Amino acid sequence: MIRFLFRLAAMVALAVSVIMAVLDATRTVAAAHLVMTPLKTSWNAVSPDTLGAAESFVREKVQPLVWDTAVDWIISQPGFAVFAVLALLLYMIGYKPQRKATRFAAG
């Protein structure tokens, strides 16, 4: 059941990644030069309150240095790449390897 939830979350993250990649591709064609929108810009356009809440949570509860170094760097990357990597990690966690055929398996 837990593996299913990780694979489902991976599928959702991959869908978001594809949507963001299509948006960037459309903007690239319209602008006639490469456009890769950072996740921070997309997040701020969709819900600036949650971006501010996430930043204040990390700064207050964890450490301001964590936001300034790791989280800020991650959300400054193109959104489709961040969600694609997240989808890959979630899928790797939820991956169920195939059972290997034994010597006496019918086949």
Residues 73 and 87 grouped into a single domain: no
How far, in Å, CA of 54 to CA of 56, rounded? 6
How far, in Å, CA of 97 to CA of 82, rounded? 25
Domain count, the chain: 2
Residues 4 and 21 grouped into a single domain: yes
| Mean confidence (pLDDT) of the chain | 91
Residue 19 forms part of a structural domain? yes
Q: Span 30-52, mean pLDDT?
A: 94
Which two tokens mark 64?
């301001």
Residue 103 forms part of a structural domain? no
Angle at 55 between CA 49 and CA 56, to 5 degrees: 90
The yes-or-no verdict on residue 7 having pLDDT over 70 is yes
The yes-or-no verdict on residue 101 having pLDDT over 80 is no
Residues 44 and 73 grouped into a single domain: yes
Higher-confidence residue of 101 and 57: namely 57
Q: What is the pTM of this model?
A: 0.83
The residue segments making up the domain with residue 54 are 38-77
**What is the reported pLDDT for 97?**
80
